[in-house]
Chain A
Amino acid sequence: MMKNIIPENPPFKLLNILYKKEFILLMVLLSIIFINSNVTPYFLDLYNLIDSTFLFSEKAIIALSMTLVIIARQIDLSVASIIAVSSCVLGYTTSVGMDTYLVISFTLLSGIMCGAFNGFIITRFAIPSIIVTIGTMSLFRGLAYSFLEDQYYNKFPKFVVSLGSDYLFGYIPYAFLTFIILSIIFAFILHKTIIGKRIYSIGNNPESAQYTGIQVDKYTFVLFTLNGLFSAIAAIFLSGRLSSVRPNIAFGWELEIITMVVLGGVYIYGGSGSILGVVISIFILGMLSFGLGLINVPGVGIIIFTGLLLILSIGFPSFIKYFRSKNE
């Protein structure tokens, strides 16, 4: 008797690919590259393109762990403030003459502790993460301010400075390389391991996940701690690149990072999204800033454009639906 074999996927239709989020994002990226390269000859210059990655690599690193946080139906507004704290620790440990490996360890530890603090408050008291991280956003940034007052650090270990501003083999910036490697690791974790499945499950239906035996609180705690760690990693690259740490470092970065994630097709209420989408969206935003900057659009204009892009990219499908239903 022939067993009825159920296929894994629906029959392959080219049309279906066209509707996929990642494909649309890819098209947007290609159009931006096309437009930019026609508007200015400096765009397609290899060295310029490579240097442009410095501006978004640090944010991109955090965007990866933020993706997991958002898929798990949480949000973390305190990442920029954690960068501030970690940078302060970085600067301070350098100034008291510690060895490089100790400097880096303490910096990473500070990020982990901030993230763990977030995770603890959220899971122990069951307070929505948006509220908790609004609070810790001020608390952590405040700690940086109270520590530095109106001073700043500008001495960092050579290793750190090199990490932030140098290239591997003279071509690939370390920060960008780290981002690419991490994105491959995260894509693997999210899509090929049970950890990823559990995160999707938690984001889609946290109660059901709990009943299935998934330890929701443990995962939530770890995800926020991870976010803290990655903020600290970004802080190392950033401080190395800027060679200066003021308490207002990375101000406003949390919004840009969340934009990277949401523009990448990750649903803000959790349960769906892919690393690939986020990576493409990071490139879209990066190329956009870079291109607009080349034609002398002020930074502010880029911010406005990014905000509009975010809202319209999500609103567009509903817009179409609205008009379709009106015409029926």
Chain B
Amino acid sequence: MKNFIKNRDFILFSIIIFGVIVVGFANPYFVKPSSLSDVLTDTSILIILALSQMIVILIRAIDLSVASNLALSGMLISLLSTVYPELPVVFFIVLSCVIGTLLGVLNGVSIAILKVPFIVTTLGTLSIYRGLIYFVSDGKQVYSHEFSENFLALIHYKFLSLSFLFWVAILVFIVMYILLNHTRFGRNLYSLGGNPDAAKYIGINENKYIILAYAISGFFAGLCGYLWVARYSVASTQIAIGFELTVISACVVGGISVMGGVGTVVGCTLGALLIGLIRNALPAVDISQFWQLAISGAIILIAIIINTKTEQRKDKTIMVE
């Protein structure tokens, strides 16, 4: 039982519940089911992206291009939908995922085949993909009235008073949980990240896994491209700027180690929920929007420090006192 309480994920969970209660005292409206449901909806995209980023971080890399990928995919399908508004929304969702995956594969190939370090590659594609948005859209926005009905309709679906967005997040959570805990691919990710040299001796093809990991990250970036654009009913060059940092923070707070090979799906999700809670709690307790960036940054740093202190290996006990 003691181990369970010390368990990271349990601590995170407690902090979240505690936070909700504290904010609830300051602003009772916040704990109404509909408000909480809004928070969950607002955090859904972050959860999805954090889970897919987790796969990349597990193998000791980072994908800094997810936000640009998301924005580019979203813009492309938005533009297309203004030209072909009668096409079913499923078509656009699939297309967005495909575009995202392709952009992700480009990252993977650059890192695995061209041997360009992941920092350099994803910093580069961060700019390239963001720049391409300008090119395809001529710098113009796609406004809400330009989207077709069926494009936007799906987002507003509610099932059991939880939004469509959140159900997608739940689905992604389930898929990721099974993928990382119950498939060979998932378990091999952990070993590749934990000891890359040894993994190669065992016959795990590092290049294949790198490309697949970035492809998955890109796939979900593409999916979120649709979700974001549909939710906010706007596609522009500015969407999700800087969001990759929020995603990475969510992973780190959730216990995914940048050293690779360590982290749980549950932890990652809790990390995203905590960050989402902070983002929504601040306006709820009437903190000016200008302070939110600073406070989020501070809380993330504190979380990272606490995280690291608990993670750090204590010296192996040699002598019993």
Contacts and interface: CB of A to CB of B under 8 A. Distances in A.
The answer to A–B direct touch (Cβ < 8 A) is yes
Contact of B120 (A127, A137, A146, A314): A314
A58 B184 CA distance: 50
B275 to A, nearest CB: 11
Interface string B106-122: 00001001111101110
B127 A303 contact: yes
Given A134-B249, A146-B288, A314-B120, A139 B294 contact: yes
A262 B308 contact: no
Interface in B121-140: 121, 123-128, 130-132, 134-135, 139
B295 interface: yes
A230 to B, nearest CB: 20
If over half of B's interface residues share one DSSP class (helix, strand or loop), that class is named, otherwise mixed; here it is helix
B301 A132 contact: yes
A136 B131 contact: no
Contacts of A134: 245, 248-249
A142 B304 contact: no
Given A126-B312, A308-B124, A315-B110, A138 B131 contact: no
A137 B134 CA distance: 25
B127 A138 contact: no
B297 A142 contact: yes
A143 B245 contact: no
A315 B294 CA distance: 37
A293 interface: no
A166 B301 CA distance: 40
Interface string A106-138: 000000000000000100011110111011111
Main secondary structure of the interface of A (DSSP, over half): helix
B290 A130 contact: no
Interface in A287-328: 298, 300-301, 303-304, 306-308, 310-311, 314-315, 318-319, 322
B114 A318 contact: yes
A137 B249 CA distance: 12
Contacts of B113: 318, 322
Given A121-B305, A310-B120, A139 B127 contact: no
B116 A314 contact: yes
A293 to B, nearest CB: 15
Contacts of B119: 75, 130, 268
A217 to B, nearest CB: 16
Contacts of A138: 245, 249, 293-294, 296-297, 300
Interface-central residue, B116, B259, B296, by most chain A CB under 10 Å: B116
Q: Which 9 A-B pairs have the closest CB atoms?
A: A142-B294, A142-B293, A139-B297, A315-B114, A138-B297, A304-B131, A300-B134, A307-B128, A307-B127
Interface of A: 75, 121, 125-128, 130-132, 134-143, 145-146, 148-150, 255, 258-259, 262, 268-269, 298, 300-301, 303-304, 306-308, 310-311, 314-315, 318-319, 322
Interface of B: 62, 110, 113-117, 119-121, 123-128, 130-132, 134-135, 139, 245, 248-249, 252, 258-259, 288, 290-298, 300-301, 304-305, 308-309, 312
12 contacts: A121-B305, A125-B308, A145-B293, A149-B290, A259-B124, A300-B134, A303-B131, A307-B125, A311-B110, A311-B114, A311-B125, A318-B114
Given A121-B305, A135-B249, A304-B135, 20 more contacts: A125-B305, A126-B308, A127-B304, A142-B298, A148-B290, A255-B123, A255-B127, A268-B117, A268-B120, A298-B134, A301-B135, A303-B128, A307-B123, A308-B128, A310-B120, A311-B120, A314-B114, A314-B117, A318-B114, A319-B114
